[in-house]
Structures are given as C-alpha cells and as structure tokens.
Structure 1
Amino acid sequence: MPENIYTVLKNTIKSNDFMQSEHTIHDKRIHFSYCKNIVDQELIHHELLHRIQISEEEFDHLLALKSLIPFENIKVSSNVDEIVQSLIKGFIYVQLEHDFNEGLLIDVADLQRGYRSNNEADNEYSVIGPKAGFVEDLDTNLNLLRKELVSEHLRFEEYIKGSLSQTRVTIVYVEGICNPQHVDTIRQRIVDAEFDEVSDSSIIDQVITDNANSPFPLLMSTERVDRAKFSLLSGQVAILSSGSPYVISGPITVFEFFASPEDFYLPWVLASFFRCIRYLGVAFSILASPFYVAVLTFHYSVIPQPLLGPIIESRANVPFPPIIEVLLMEFTVDLLREAGARLPTKVGQTLGIVGGVVLGTAAVQAGLTSNILIIIVSLSAVSSFATPIFKMANTIRFLRFPLIGLAAAWGGFGITIGLVILIGHLLRLKSLGSPYIVPLFPFRFREFANSFIRFPFSLSYNRPRYLRPLKLQRYKVSRSKDRSDYNNE
C-alpha cells in the first residue's frame, strides 16, 4: 500500500514551527504542509490561496491544480526525502484530499527575512566571518536558524511564559546530536518557572541558572547567528524569547567565554595565539591593581632597584594610601565606561577619550594619584575589553574589587586567599548539571583541543565530550585527509 505522505511528514518533522492545515475550496479539500518561520506567509495567503479561490476551473488532479498556481518553481513529488529537504528550505507541499501519495512542491521561501542592513552583531563584532545577528522578532530569529541549519532534525519547542507578558519562549536543539537529558533539564526548569513578565532572555537565564548567586555567567548569551549555530551543532540547547535579540545556550564551560567565532575563521596558529593573549589579558586585568596595592603596602622589597626611584617620585605628593588611590581610579574608569555605554555611540566614544585623558592628566597634576597607577588602571581596562562576551567582561571587572580589598588587608597572602576562594567557587559551579571548568576539573586531556588553544580541524573533529552528544564525530577525519592524484597522460 502506498504511504500516506501527509502522515509521514507529521511524524518526521517534529517541530513546533512545522504546520499542516486544511482548506476547502470549491467543495474540494486541499492540504498544506510547511515550516511557518521560513516561508512567506503573505505570499501563501494573498497569492497561492487567493488564485485558487478565484479560479473557476476544476482541479480534480494535481496537474490541473498546478496550472492554476502562478509560481515558477513548482514540481510534482512523491519522494519523502526530497519533500522533507524542500520543506526545511522554504517550500510548501500541497496535496489533494483523494491523493495523499504525491503533491506539489512550491517555492515560497522568504529569502530576505532576517537579513537586513541593521541587524549586525554590534556587541560581538568580528572582522572575518558572518556579520548577521539576531533581532527582537522571534519568528525572524527562528527563520535565521532554519536557513543556517538546513536539517529536518532541528527541533523547536515553544512555551508561553509570563502571566502578564505572555512571552513566547522557544527551546531549540538538534535531535540526534543533543543529549536528551540537557533538553529535559531546560524544559523542566522553564515549565516550572513562575514569573509575571519576561522582557528579555537574560531573565530566563537568571531563573533557570544553576547558581543565581554566582557572578559568573553559567549560560552563554550571544547575538551572533554563527555562534548560536555552532552551539547547536556542538550538542548544546538554545533558548530564544520574543522581544530579545540575544540567544542563551548551555551547558557551557568558562573557557567558551574567551573563544571568539573569529577564531574558527583564522588559521589555527593565529587563533591560538590570540586566544592566549585574551587569557593573559584577563589575568592582568584581575591581578594588576591588587598587586600594586599589595606591593606598595606590604612588599617594598620586591620592587627592583631601577623602579624604586620612579615610584617614590611619582607618589611623593599623593596624600592617599595605595588602597584609596586605586579605588578612586578604578571607580573613575568604571564610571566613564558606564557613562559612555549609556550615551549615543559617537558621544560615548568622545566621552571615553576626552574624559580619560583630561581626568587622568588632572589627577596626576593635582597629586591625587601616581603616573604608574594611571598606566596600570588603563591597561587593566583595555585588557578587560579583550573578552568577547560582555557578561564575562563584567564579571572580570567585578572580581578586581574584592581582590583589591584583600591585598590592602594582607598583601600577597590576601591575594592568594582570594584566588583560592575563586578557584574553589569555580570548582563547585555547574552549567545545567555539567562541570563548569572542564577539562581542568574533571581533568580530561582530550578536551584541551578547543579550550585553551584552537587545534586544527584535522585534530578537532569530535564534539565536546562533556556535552555527551549522541553523535560524537563532526566528520570523518580519514576522509578529509584523502588525496587524489590525477596524472595526465
């Protein structure tokens, strides 16, 4: 018996954006199957349905129906695989009631939706690679993911959260790659969460996170389409909400916050070098100011002899102890950064440059701070900007202050205490139940491929094992290394 394609499609594409509808036109029932987020629904209603409804000709078979439809790319198909691939590319499948074994594939893809001139990823900019970012419209964002991941295994699950806002929240994952346990964990936390208003995906992030009291972000937040796509293909689960241009995903590790999508568009040697620079920048940003306080308060003996004279000279007229001097400058820099972020782009850039130069020069001339501290604080601020993810950059800015306080109290011993507490806190953190600092703890040597440095693609063909993906390999490395020799005789 021939298979009922209408039923087969329903059981194959198990995603909330897959729609099947029925229309009665001229006493004949016509069935439609399509993915709503990637088709032009206005084209379907105003052109396709309208032309069929106003037609006075009979259409007892598919060829007669085909002659009534004013579209160029139309074909009759009964191949399920071809139909599924076409549907996820933006086609609509039309069937007559008496014949569910074949139908018409009509190209109604909305090719321009989502790709606009004003949806670049402003906060995660990269020189090389795609520039497309998400927008505030949920359907547009799902459309972007459908275009980037052309697979029938891409799943959307939609929920309505917020008793007053009635916000649409969608869970996205790739079936067959993502571990079902991660999907179940996120699904259970979203369903059980109760709140009256959801204005951004970051609220969902704070509600479902494993530890809401930690300053470290435990879920990735991105506005880049390519980063979200890479997360899904790695085996992570993504969450989108209407009204938010940011996608959150997990489980993640702390090292993913220092990896830029641009790393995968550069040769692996350069990408690894730049990633190491980011780690050094983070270490300098966190420790530079506390070390300055510790050395000038307790550990004069560690200052090299050539530097001792310039330091004494620069601090000769400063009336404050090192702790007050450092806190004053750190507060000034963070105040300038916050003020610049809240102002229009051009005004904010001007404020940052002029404010930094004018206030820094004035503070030194007035004897409120030393030249050396100005250099240290400025380099610390610049180093924090090397972190690709804004949420982790904020965490780094915050961590300096408790370390500065410990350095003022107990010097180098206080900094050691702070680092031990910080490492202990990181050891306890989990992202959706997965360890936060894999591959350091638990130690997994094979996972170093894309953590500290970026290995070449020939050595990083596996997905991260900590995600426990159902399909470990991305591709067959032996096939990628095959070479063919062509001899012209």
Structure 2
Amino acid sequence: MRKQPIRIKHGKNSDFPLSIEVLKQKVKEQLQNIPDILFQQYQIQEKDILIFYIDYQINKKQLDDSLLDTILNRDIQWSTDKILNEVPIGNGTKQTKIDKMVTELIAGAVGVYVVGEPDAITYNIAKQEKRNLQKAETESLVLGPQVSFTESLATNLNVIRWRLNTHDLVTEKFIIGERGQSEVRMVYLKTLANDTDVQTMRQRLQNLVVDELEDSSILSQYIEDNSTSIFPQFYLTELPDRLCYAIGKGRIGVLVDKSPTSIIAPSTFFSFFESTEDIYMRWNVGSFLRILRFVAMFISVVVTPTYVACVTFHYEVLPTPLLASLGQSRAQVPFPPIIEALLLELLIELLRESGARLPTKVGQTIGIVGGIVLGQAAVEAGLTSNVLIIVVASSALASFTAPSYIMGSAIRVIRFPLIIIAGLIGLIGVTLGICFFFIHLIRMTSLGRPYLLPAYPFNWKDMDNSFFRLPFTLSNTRSTSFQPKDMRRYPKQKAQTKKDIDE
C-alpha cells in the first residue's frame, strides 16, 4: 500500500507542522555556528519521529535509558501527547516556535518531533559538570562546618534546604541575561525578612538588563547602591552556614547559577569583620577576636601614613630614643619617607598578588622567601629603613585579618592615598583623609539601609550583634537594624533556667 504524503498545514501562531527536511534546515540555520547538532530519524507505526540535540550538551545515559528506550521499544502510534505521557522524564515542554526550541537545545535539551503534529517537545537533560562539596578556600574556619558552595545552583539550594529545614524558606527564581541567560535565586524566610528589603531586591533583579551574568560578584556590583565606592555593600560568602545564619537574622541571600559564592543583603560595614567562628567559640573569646579585627583594621589604615607624617613633618611627637633610632636607620636612605613608604607598600602588594596567582605551594614559598630576601636586601642596599619594614609588614598583616577578602583589599588600597596626603601635609592630611572616608561611609547605604548601622544612626541594642558577643542566654533578640518581622529568637527566661536531671 502506497504511503500517503502528509499535508502540511500550519497552526495559528505556530511554526509546525513541518517536514523532517525543512525542520532540519531551519534548525541548522539557527545553529550554523554549532556543528555538533545531531539528528536521529526513526519510523514507528508509519510515523516519522525526529530526535535532535547538541552532542556534548546532553546526558547520553538519560537519553538512551529514558527517551529512546521508551519510544523505540513500544509499538505505539506516537503523538506529542502520548510521548509526554509515556516518556519517564518529567520536564517535557511543548514547543511551537523554532527559535525558542533552539534556545532550549543550546541549554542542554533534546528535541522530539513527530511529523504532522502541531508542536514539538523538548526535554531538558543537560549534562552538568560540577565539583563535589569541598572545604572553603577563601573563608577558612577552625570551628564549624567546613563545607562550601559549588558552581551548581541545584547543589547549593540543596545544602541550604538541608540546613534550613522549614516551610518558611522562600526561593524566588529569576532569569537574567539577554544573550547568555543565568538562573538567579533570591532566598529568605517569609516570616522574618523585611518586606521592604525583599521588594527592593526583587525590583533590582527584575529590572536588571545585561548581556550575560558571569558570577555573583558581578551581580552584586550591578545591584549595589553605590557602584563607584571602593567599599563593598553586599557581603559575598562561599559558606552555607554563614548564609543560613544571615537568613535566620532576617536578611536576604542571592544565589547565581555557575557561581560558588552567594550574596548577603543588606550588609553593614561591620558585617565584613564578623565571622561565623565568633559564634562557634565561647562568647568572651569571640568578642575578643571581633574587637581585634577592628583594631587591626585601624592599624592597617593609619600606621604607615602616621609614620610618613611624623618622620617628614612632626619629629617633636616622637620620643627622643625612638627619634635617634630612626635617624640612624634612615641615615643611608636616599629617598624621602613618602617615596620609601610607597615603594615598600608596592613591594608588599606585588608579593601578595604574585603569591595569589601562582600555584599554592609555589605561591607560599615566593611570598615568604621573597619578603625576607627583598626586605633584607633593601635594608642592606640603603633603599629603606628597618623601622619602616616593621611598620609596613605590621600594616599588611593587620589587613589580612578581615574575614572578607574584598573588604581587606579595599583597606589595603585606601592606604596609598593616605600615605600620599601624609607626605604632603602631615598629620593634618591623615586626619582629613580619615574624615573624608568616614563621611563617605556615613552617606552610603546597603539595600537602602545605612551602611554604618548600628554606629550611625546609633543603636545601642545592636552593639552585641556587631562589635562584640554576649552569651546566648542574654542575646535572645535579632538585630533591630534590619527590622525583621519577628525580633525574638527564643524566650529569655527559659534560656536562663537551669535544671538538674533529677528535678
């Protein structure tokens, strides 16, 4: 019996039905830069079925076991609806437009078309290459969970769900990118997060129009309040426990697919000097370490500019024994203090950058040996003094105490303009520079909230959540600075009640 030709009659607002040859041609036209598109044609019960996909984008095992095994081993006159009902893959989607279908193919979908049907089907069976959960690299901890985020959004959401096992956890989905699309998730607790913060973050994500989104750190620069400031306004973390701790305080987390870091918003200036290790330790030890970081930040910013100002203009503020030691140390140095300090600071930054870019073992060796050798050689050559080497090294070490790598980098950068102004007009310049940065911090906001909370506007109730720690039996409320819906974490009286086992 002669097979009757199929009559092609397009549905309304649909590119189908099409013959197999025409469909192949249209798909190849849109994927002309991708030579790895494969077409497989089958005939079952006098029905021609075309399966097509990009070779390296899909999971071949899932294709063979779930899709091909079902279609080829059942003697059924297939149609679009029957394939959707019978194939054991739950994300099948009908497609009526070829351009949209091609977009799905690029993302890792396989297309299925039964000739004569008014639509095709795409199944997303993308092959995802991802690394396993590992220890954090940039935020190392002694106590607490050691696991970090990965580049897989599904894995990161799974870890958050595992840590926050509650139905209040909301994960809103956004697709950002005109040419290269990325999935973004906003994560928060519905009964805690402030509605204004949630709406502000949602609006910024919805209104963002970019070609592509490479990483969460880039997203934070797009949506932050002041993109010209050197200070970061959102905290970036690769630790799930830190993100979950912030969400539990009423803040918002943002995750980006293919990025191993998450965004915490809103964040204050003091958030960048807090560590989750502070709450894992005893409260008095945690408070000491947190205060130590603030002192180290001040030392890192002020010590070298103060040295330059004192040696250049203000000899009278130095004790006589120290002044004599400085005179002997600088007797052979041909440069003024400002040039000497800038050279050493640049040398420290070169060693740090080279150590970070080289392989781990080589980088550590270069950093230690290079610092010792170059420092000793500089002193013996008369290019710098012993005292300045101690000052610059102390300043560099202090900057590394910040838990946030981005904030530590910002602190190291702002030393340079302070050194220059200290060499020009002395301690008055250092004071003016610090005042300038302080005024800048006062004017800054993070997701619309003051950046210097709780110091400005002053709120004494939140001091234990920023500058130090209190015992858990005394700190039973959340920070009022972020205005969560529920302020109380647990009843204070019950937390202070202690009973023996026989009572």
**Structures share a fold, TM > 0.5?**
yes
Paired AA for residue 141 in structure 2: S
Q: Residue 6 of structure 2 corresponds to which residue in structure 1?
A: none
Task: Give how far 1:316 is off.
Answer: 0.4
Quote the Cα distance in structure 2 between the aligned partners of 1:436 and 1:129. Answer: 28
Instruction: Name the residue aligned to 2:306.
Output: 291
Letter of the 2:239 counterpart: R
Aligned to 2:433: 418
CA displacement at 1:330 relative to structure 2: 0.3
Indicate the residue corresponding to 2:209 in structure 1: 194
Distance 1:439 1:178 in 2: 18
The answer on whether the counterparts of 2:131 and 2:150 sit within 8 Å (CA) in structure 1 is no
Please give the alpha-carbon distance, in whole angstroms, between the structure 1 residues aligned to 2:276 and 2:498.
29
TM-score using structure 2 length:
0.74
2:220 alignment counterpart: 205
Which residue of 290, 295, 309 corresponds with 1:275? 290
Identity %: 45
Contact 1:449-1:459 at 8 Å conserved across structures: no
Give the drift of 1:190.
0.9
3-state SS in 1 of match to 2:476? coil
Match of 1:244 in 2: 259
Aligned to 2:245: 230
Q: For 1:2-401, what aligned pairs fall within 5 Å after superposition? A: 116=132, 119-401=134-416
**1:474 equivalenced with 2:489 (yes/no):** yes
Q: Distance in 2 between matches of 1:373 and 1:485?
A: 59
Deviation at 1:46, TM superposition (A): 8.1
Deviation at 1:160, TM superposition (A): 0.9
Shift of 1:430: 0.4
Which letter does structure 2 place at the counterpart of 1:174?
Answer: L
Structure 1: distance between partners of 2:497 and 2:467: 29
**What secondary structure sits across from 1:375 in the alignment?**
helix
Q: Encode CA deviations 1:309-354: one digit per residue, 9 max, x unaligned.
A: 2111110010000000000000010011011111111011011001
- Alpha-carbon distance in 1 for matches of 2:491, 2:358: 50
The alpha carbon displacement at 1:456 in A equals 1.3
In the TM superposition, what is the alpha-carbon distance from 1:485 to its structure 2 partner? 4.5
SS in 1 for 2:183: strand
Aligned partners of 1:115 and 1:132 also within 8 Å: no
Identify the residue that residue 68 of structure 1 maps to in structure 2.
none
Distance 2:192 2:484 in 1: 5
Quote the offset at 1:259 in angstroms: 0.8
Structure 1 stretches of 5 or more lacking a match? 1-41, 55-113
Q: State the Cα deviation string for residues 62-118 of structure 1 (Å, max 9, x = none).
A: xxxxxxxxxxxxxxxxxxxxxxxxxxxxxxxxxxxxxxxxxxxxxxxxxxxx994x5
Give the superposition deviation at 1:439: 1.2
TM-score calculated relative to the size of structure 1 = 0.76
Show CA shifts across 1:105-154 (max 9, x none): xxxxxxxxx994x5211110011110010000111000100000000110
Contact 1:168 1:241 (8 Å CA) reproduced: yes
- Mapped to 2, the partners of 1:253 and 1:386 lie a distance apart of 18
Rg larger in structure: 2
Cα distance, 1:478 vs structure 2: 1.4
Shift of residue 243 of structure 1? 1.0
Alignment-mate amino acid for residue 238 of structure 1: G
Give the secondary-structure state (helix, strand or coil) at the position aligned to 1:158. strand
- Among residues 457, 472, 489, which one is paired with 1:442 in the alignment? 457
Distance 2:153 2:441 in 1: 34
Instruction: Describe the shift of the 1:365–1:186 C-alpha distance in structure 2 as closer, same or farther (beyond 3 A).
Output: same
Question: What residue number does 2:418 align with?
Answer: 403
The CA distance in 2 between the partners of 1:304 and 1:214, in whole Å, is: 38
CA contact (8 A) 1:364 1:371 kept: yes
Can you list the C-alpha shifts for 1:413-436, whole angstroms capped at 9, x where unaligned? 001101111110011010000011
Q: Distance in 1 between matches of 2:456 and 2:348?
A: 35
CA distance in 2, matches of 1:284, 1:127: 25
Deviation at 1:400, TM superposition (A): 0.4
Contact 2:182-2:256 within 8 A present in 1 as well: yes
Aligned residues between the structures: 383
